[in-house]
Structures are given as structure tokens and as C-alpha cells.
Amino acid sequence: MAKVPNILVVDDEECICDIIKESLSDLDYNVQVTHNPEDALKIIENQPLDFLLTDLILGDKSGMELLNRALELHQDLVVVLMTGQPTIENAVSVLKLGAYDYLVKPFSIERLKAIIRRGLERQQLYRENVHLREMVSLYEISKAMGSTIEFNSLLNLILNTAAREFDANLGSILLWDEKTKSLRVEATFGATEKIQPKDLFCQDSPIVKSIIQEGQPQVLDEANIQNLLGQEKRNELFKSIISHPLMAKGKVVGVLSLIRSQKSHPFTKGQLQSLSIIAGEAASAIENSRLYENLKDSYLETLTALANAVEARDAYTRGHTERVWYLAQFLANQMGWGEEKMWEVKMGGILHDIGKIGVPDAILNKPGKLTPEEFKIMKLHPQQGIKILEGISFLSPALPYVLYHHERYDGSGYPEGLGKQDIPIQGRLMAVVDTFDAISSDRPYRKSKGFTEALKEIKDNSQTQFDPSVVEVLVEAWNNGKIDMQKLEIQTPKEPFTSVVKNVT
């Protein structure tokens, strides 16, 4: 059933209040009347309100004051002013301040009823529209929550959605960091040189303290903000802030804040309810995404341990996976792959040789040339890697690195003998990186040939073994000193090598 509208009538003439109350009594409205402006303010500040009908002159008070305060607290309130001395200036200024209409006394009861009906209808439409937009925002956040969206993208999505819905030009999300036991700015929206949401929410920011202490959503006006910022950090561009704590399992896990830098358009307390819906949904989305990230990390830790176990069986490849993962991420970055791809590249780097776990020790560590039969078994490691990983859906992006890192550009590689663009780019990237590391690190049968020789061999085998476009990126980065050499020198084997022969990188 629809809610009964709450109407407040304020007029310093008691008899007018009574007449209006009486004439609206046959309609389904909850009507309160008062001739005292102080009482009117109390009602405005403490009670839900849908419609305010107030006289323009209330003794020594003005209806404008009530209008301002009422619109500050009730976002979609319908306000109609009454006056016995109409002037064009008055009419224009009350409409500018956000009044819905203007009634000139004396007016007929029918006209009053028509204005109330029209005003409430418009309010209803407005509320339905807001509700619909909230639903759309919630749907977008829920949809993101349902998919395995990357954590930072989720934060940006929440911020962008909230900023759009609340017509804010800046925003931020602070999240609680368990390690440092403090809130940290994790995402911002709309920052410019002159105005940075981070300035408001740095460590020990009084605004943050105030939000956390209260544990309540807040609307801060310009005076509140400047007061909290203090003389030193004053920034006139922060005009209005609306902040909502992000709660999960009864605890504050963060704060969602939106900021406006236009004075004419401050946030209202009435908007807090809408923000609370988005904040609630956002908090669960963030919490779920964090849990998912933790799960991913612990999965990856297990698999890294597995990859390390492979390396541990073969002292000469110590550090190989880590160097491969660094160089692969570096080249992927140079090739313009997005941030969201970096996790996949890391997984690919760590896991590319995981299939070697299925290669018997006698072959993996054979101190001599492998027989054709043994080499055949060694060559199975890409497919064996796939068998280990294929049941784990979130690791599926790593599969092309595992399966295709021994394919050759001319089609003579394994396991599938694919050529050129038929080899997925992940395999073409990994082939370059894997071989570069094999040549530049110590091998059982020889010392490292060094980076310069490794680069030369990669260049010499461009077009035959390697994709020339990947080679070009490596060469360009190398020649311009962009590669972090320390990362390529980690964990090289300590002992010198003699005459042990190995066949596979």
C-alpha cells in the first residue's frame, strides 16, 4: 500500500492553518499545522516530510529560511510558498531556491488541492526514477560482483557508478588495511591538479577520524569541511561531501565518499538513504572480491610451491620461473597488454614448466645426452602441465603459456607444430622469454653465455624460432636500458658446472 504523504502547513495566522487542515481532512494526507516557525523547524528537522506549505512572512522569520533548511534535509520535498503581497522578485527568488510553486492569497481550496496533488505526483515520479536508477546501479555492481572481476576494476566501477548517480565530480574509496591497522585510499575518481580526494583522506585526516568515530554516514557542508581540514589544508574547492561507511560482518571495512566542488549544488541528508543502498552492495562486493583474491593468491602460492618443487629437482634451473615471469610481464607491458592481463602473464610464467613434475628424475637429471625415447618423454611436459591445471577454472588463462611455449614460429616446434600466428601470442611471448633465460643462465653443460649472446641468438632466430614482433620488443627494450637487470640476476646457481648435458630448457 502506498505511504500516506506527510504535509506540514506553516502560517502565522492560526485561522488559516485551521481552514487548510479542515479542507484537506477528506483527503488521504497526514496533515500537521503550526503557526510557530520554531515548531515548524523542529518538525522539519525531526520528522519525515513530503510536502511543505509555508507562508512567506512568518512574523520576524521568513518562509525562505524554512524552505532552505527543509530542502537541505529532505532531498525531494515539495515546497509551496504562500503570500498576500506578491512581487515578481519574490516569486523568482523562491523558485530559484527550489520551491515547487507559489500561491497568492487569497486562493481557493480547489486550487490548493490541485497544487498539492500535482506536486505529490511529480515527487512520486521523481522517487520512482531515483529508485530505478538505484536499481540499475545495484544491478551493475551486483553483476560485477557475480563475475570474477579484478579487485581494482571493481573499486573503480563502484566509484564511477556512485559518482554518476549522485552527480559528484570527485570520489574516493578508503579500505581498512589489516596489516597497518589503518584506512588507506584505494581508489579515487575525478582527481585534478588543484583538487585531490586524497588530500581529504590522508592518514590521520580529521574527516576520516570523524567518519570512523561516528560510524555513521555523514553529509558535510563547506564550513564543516574547512573546519575539519584546518587552516593549513584549506581548499576552497571542497564544497560538499557525502560519506558512507562500508560495513561487512558488523565492522567498518572502509568508507565510500563523494565530493562536489560546486557550491550551488550541495549534497543533502535525504540522499544518505540512496547512498546507503549502494554502500551496502559495494561493501559485500568488495568483501567477496577480497576473499576471491585471497583464494587466488593461496592457490597460486600452492602452485608456485609446486613449480619450485620442479626447480628444486633441478638445481640448474633455480630462479628460472621467477625470471621468466618478470621478463614476460615486462614485455607484455611493452606490447600494451592491459593491467588486468598481468596476473595471467605471472601465472603463465610461474606455471609454464609445471608439467616437468611428471618427468621422471632419471630423465630430468640425467647427466648426459637424452636418448630419442627419453627426449620424447621430456617433450610431453607441456601437455602434462595442461593435465595438472585444466580442472582449475581460474587458472585457464595460463594454459596457452604452458601448452605452446615450445612451439616454433616456422612450425617445427612441439607439441602441435603450429606456425606463425596460429601459435597463440602467449606461447610466442613465452618462447622468447624462456629461451632468453635458458641461454643467459648457467646450464649443466656450460656456463651462462651472458645476456649479450642471449640477445644475439634470439635475434638470429627471429622468423625461424621466434615471432619477430616479440623479438623486436625485447631488442628495443634492451637497447634502451629499460630492463631491470637485478630481476634477471636473481637466484643464479652458486656452483660451477662441468660436463653434465641437458636437453630441454
Question: Which residues contact Fe ion by CB under 5 A?
Answer: 353, 434, 505
Judge whether 451 and 488 are in contact, CB under 8 Å.
Answer: yes
Q: What angle do CA 99, 102, 108 make, to 5 degrees?
A: 140
Element holding 431 (H helix, E strand): helix 425-440
- Smallest gap from Cβ 355 to Fe ion, in A, equals 8
- Smallest gap from Cβ 183 to Fe ion, in A, equals 42
Structure-block grid coordinates of residue 119? 506536486
- Smallest gap from Cβ 167 to Fe ion, in A, equals 53
Residue whose cell numbers read 494526507: 29
Structure-block grid coordinates of residue 385? 602441465
- Smallest gap from Cβ 496 to Fe ion, in A, equals 22
Q: Closer to Fe ion at the Cβ: 61 or 352?
A: 352
Find the helix packing angle between 468-479 and 425-440, rounded to 10°. 50
Q: Closer to Fe ion at the Cβ: 260 or 320?
A: 320
Whether cis (ω within 30° of 0) applies to the bond prior to 397 is: no
How many whole angstroms separate alpha carbon 319 and alpha carbon 140?
Answer: 43
Q: Closer to Fe ion at the Cβ: 206 or 319?
A: 319
Q: Closer to Fe ion at the Cβ: 407 or 434?
A: 434
Residue type, 450: G
- Smallest gap from Cβ 457 to Fe ion, in A, equals 16
Whether cis (ω within 30° of 0) applies to the bond prior to 468 is: no
* List of long-range contacts for 438-443, beta carbons under 8 Å, 24+ apart: 438/320, 438/505, 440/488, 441/316, 441/317, 441/319, 441/320, 441/323, 441/492, 441/493, 442/316, 442/492, 442/493, 442/496, 442/497, 443/316, 443/497, 443/502
- Smallest gap from Cβ 505 to Fe ion, in A, equals 5
How many whole angstroms separate alpha carbon 118 and alpha carbon 315?
Answer: 82
Helix, strand or coil, per DSSP, at residue 104: strand
Q: Closer to Fe ion at the Cβ: 186 or 434?
A: 434
How many whole angstroms separate alpha carbon 236 and alpha carbon 278?
Answer: 28
- Smallest gap from Cβ 245 to Fe ion, in A, equals 48
Q: Closer to Fe ion at the Cβ: 353 or 374?
A: 353
- Smallest gap from Cβ 251 to Fe ion, in A, equals 45
Q: Closer to Fe ion at the Cβ: 374 or 434?
A: 434
Structure-block grid coordinates of residue 377? 618423454
How many whole angstroms separate alpha carbon 323 and alpha carbon 353?
Answer: 13
Q: Closer to Fe ion at the Cβ: 55 or 434?
A: 434
Q: Closer to Fe ion at the Cβ: 197 or 444?
A: 444
- Smallest gap from Cβ 326 to Fe ion, in A, equals 14
How many whole angstroms separate alpha carbon 278 and alpha carbon 166?
Answer: 11
Q: Closer to Fe ion at the Cβ: 440 or 505?
A: 505
Q: Closer to Fe ion at the Cβ: 289 or 505?
A: 505
Alpha-carbon dihedral sign for residues 408, 410, 416, 420 = positive
- Smallest gap from Cβ 463 to Fe ion, in A, equals 21
How many whole angstroms separate alpha carbon 316 and alpha carbon 175?
Answer: 43
- Cα radius of gyration rounded to whole Å, the chain: 34
- Smallest gap from Cβ 144 to Fe ion, in A, equals 36
